[in-house]
Structure 1
Amino acid sequence: MRHALLLSALAAACSCGAAHAADVSTPALTGLTGPAGAEAPVPGTAAPWPECAGIPLASDMPFYDYEGLSGSYGSRMPFAEGQPITVTFALLHSQPYAWSDGNYSGLFMAANGTMRWRYGKFAAVPVNPAASPGIVLQTDPLPSSAAFMVLGLLKSSGTGHITALCLYDARHPWPPTVFPQRPFTLRRLSP
């Protein structure tokens, strides 16, 4: 039940409202479908977003769980409103094709250009037949949430840690255009 509510939060966070609700549950195994129905490049082509250079798209290299997510991550300037500057994830539960969940805390860019500390619980869905990959961050103590599409991730074959995530704020229309409606990368800061 809680995960159905989080999936609804992922859909509601989009600026395109009900039009995106159907796309949230669209399979992402052959290509990433965005809110407006636009597709990312076909498998085997380069990622179209320089912000995520070197990170394989979920359509090219599907991931089925978030094992190895626990750790601290940081992003680079410029920071858009709501974007994490640094964030630490503590994964509590993950299994293939199912929701993963845990706790997070970090600094996020606020609307007025200042940094704001946020913490709470997160839920993430990997590539699976029922939903496109995404992460929903629930903020404590305020009952608000932020949703990000996971366009791809990079995992170390040696350690099993996720070393980078390519994210896109689900509030923005698809496809990405100009800043601040661009994807961004979170890179692992701690081993």
Structure 2
Amino acid sequence: MAGTTDGRRTDTRQRIHQVALDVFSERGYEKATLREIAERLEITRPALYYHYKSKEDILASIHRDLATSIDDIIDWARSRPADLQTRREVLHRLSALMAGPWGQFTRFAQENEAAMRDLAAASEFVERMESLAELLRPSDTVRGRIRARLALSALFMAGSRAHQLGGTDRTRSAAALETADELVADG
């Protein structure tokens, strides 16, 4: 029975995260309110306060979930041989994350840099990106390190630059993954 309760709590948190991201994205983080999030969720503000005391708490929780997902990828990659197959699998796992709420969060983060700067865990995110870049580098050269960072940038760009790049989300994601795969290839 405890698993069910935990499952419902997780589902509720995920639902709050999704609605909050929608509100943050539509209204802007500064203009978004807990009242508006509660209304969209069709719950009372006290019910929302039971889970989160502020929109900052919601944002930090979303960020923690994302960090956990990235940590899982990093841990997996570190347990594998440092080869092309592992690098490509890291990219595919990141791309899959970007296709979900992670993509929406990264778009939000890029559009709301001030809110992200105030987030205590933002510097940890930079460290995670550095770890991913190290895992993705095809060689320990300046060129290899540049290629790894460009591969990461391609994945993020696909979701955040729709207007400039055109195409559907799926088309951009596939093109970014193909480009990133080429960048992390040996040689």
With a CA cutoff of 8 Å and minimum separation of 6, indicate the structure with the bigger relative contact order.
1
Higher strand proportion, which one?
1
TM-score by length of 2: 0.24
Higher helix proportion, which one?
2
Larger Rg: 2
